[in-house]
A and B are shown apart, each in its own frame.
Chain A
């Protein structure tokens, strides 16, 4: 369970997050949407301590990120993360991209890590790419590898920071399919995305952010059918045009 309690974050005088509060139960899928610059990615990166915040607290399974004695390294092992631009390691083959963390962090044997990596590649549908370098894969394939890499650490929570916004349109579906599968398997997920089809299908809650604040939240039905704020309505009209 993740409890976000009144979190605020500043860059100098500019407030990028303002009193954000949210509770994410185990097994829940929460989608965060909103215009660019709303602080969605920042919130996502605060959840696993990649970005510090100045006020409030985030508590993951009872562990406070604010507590100086909290071991962020340990905490991050429970949380996988998928980035907008994949961020695979370009100097390593696909297989190594997936096995390096289990081997170096969890001290897994090479053979076990390889076996696990192949299983995960099977799961995301590209086992035949194992021996290639990231640069030789399409964006959609790279993002699926990135998901496999995060899953290799057996996280309890998965964070997705705009996982499909750097992809060509025809590759979006292959990545979303993997994410939908993951959601249906019961993974706790926080997903920053504008893919409303995805949100409709698996989201337990949808949050709309603007200017660092959560201005609307709802279950998928309530969110899409009757948004309370004018701003949300306007935003949905724009992105649901297609």
Chain B
């Protein structure tokens, strides 16, 4: 194996950073898209109308019961089929992440809203608020505070999960390292380096979520 040679990082730095950028892009798309879709699905899970509740519940239970890797594969084959033309691996991966992560975000949102007592809803109604006003002014602001730590934790998970896009050829951070490795044969240095970067990103995000959790403690 010989001695460590960190020059491999230096020499391939721009290429590796390009990979990191792809990882960040994919994570941002997965998080924002997943969150937006998750809000809709989470609200639908709270609906008393069966036609809204059941499809949303099916969606959530279905995707939460599948391995992400499988979902990424599916969409890799499914998306071009649905679109009728090749859409590229990055696009397929984005769709897979949005849909998969939405099922997790939806549950966080549903649980957050349900964590607010029924009486708060009644208190809102009793002062003449509509359903929408009660949700907007009373329930959602309180629910959000309860949800923020879980949402951030899930965001960290999405960031880590993006490495699975490796398997369909997306040149994200992990794959870019393995491409360099195939040429330079410096596995230890390369994988140690990207490990450190993953760690710094995720650890910082977790710390932020911990701090927010401590801050949110408004007196009950």
Contact = CB atoms under 8 A, between A and B. Distances in A.
A104 B129 contact: yes
25 contacts: A48-B125, A48-B126, A73-B125, A73-B129, A76-B126, A76-B128, A77-B128, A80-B126, A81-B126, A83-B119, A83-B122, A83-B123, A87-B117, A87-B120, A87-B122, A87-B123, A89-B120, A89-B137, A90-B218, A90-B219, A91-B218, A104-B133, A105-B129, A133-B218, A133-B219
Contacts of A134: 219
B120 to A, nearest CB: 6
A135 B127 contact: no
Given A76-B128, A90-B142, A135-B218, 8 more contacts: A76-B127, A77-B127, A77-B128, A81-B122, A87-B117, A87-B122, A90-B220, A153-B127
A31 interface: no
Interface in B136-171: 137-138, 141-142, 145
- The listed residue with most B CB atoms (<10 A of its CB), out of A50, A133, A134, A149, is A50
Contacts of B128: 73-74, 76-77, 101, 105, 153
Contacts of A91: 141-142, 145, 218
A136 B219 CA distance: 7
B126 A135 contact: no
B127 A45 contact: no
Contacts of B141: 91
Nearest to B139: A89
A89 B125 contact: no
B123 A76 contact: no
A73 B218 CA distance: 30
Given A91-B141, A91-B142, A133-B219, A50 B125 contact: yes
Contacts of A173: none
Interface residues of A, number: 30
A63 to B, nearest CB: 14
A152 B127 CA distance: 9
A150 interface: yes
A149 B137 CA distance: 15
B204 interface: no
A87 B122 CA distance: 9
The contact size tier of chain B is 20 to 34
A101 B125 CA distance: 10
B130 interface: yes
Contacts of A79: 126
A150 B130 contact: no
Nearest to B219: A135
A83 B126 CA distance: 10
A117 interface: no
Given A87-B120, A90-B218, A91-B142, A76 B137 contact: no
A87 B218 CA distance: 15
A137 to B, nearest CB: 9
B133 A50 contact: no
B127 A50 contact: no
A83 B122 CA distance: 9
A9 to B, nearest CB: 16
Contacts of A152: 127
A10 B61 CA distance: 32
Contacts of B220: 90, 135
Interface in A144-161: 149-150, 152-153, 159
Given A105-B129, A134-B219, A45 B137 contact: no
